[in-house]
Amino acid sequence: MSILRDLLPIEKQALAVMMLEMIRADGDVDDQELKIFAVVCAATDIPLPKTA
């Protein structure tokens, strides 16, 4: 987690988008996956990506 905290803000945002795309890739978004995603983002100060 400390490595993630040291990333630049734009890198953190890109990482969050990639993680979200990996969750959605199989077509089945599990609530547990989204909870883990949100916790990782919060713990490492990654802003949640904005959705359209």
pLDDT for 18: 87
**CA–CA separation, 21 and 16 (whole Å):** 9
- What's the whole-model pTM score? 0.66
pLDDT for 44? 80
How far is C-alpha 52 from the chain's CA centre? 16
Q: Tell me the CA distances in angstroms from 14 to 34, 37, 40, 47, one per residue in order.
A: 17, 14, 14, 10
Residue 27 is classified by DSSP as S
Tokens of 47: 């802003």
Block means of pLDDT (10 residues each) for the chain, 52 residues, are 82 84 86 86 77 56
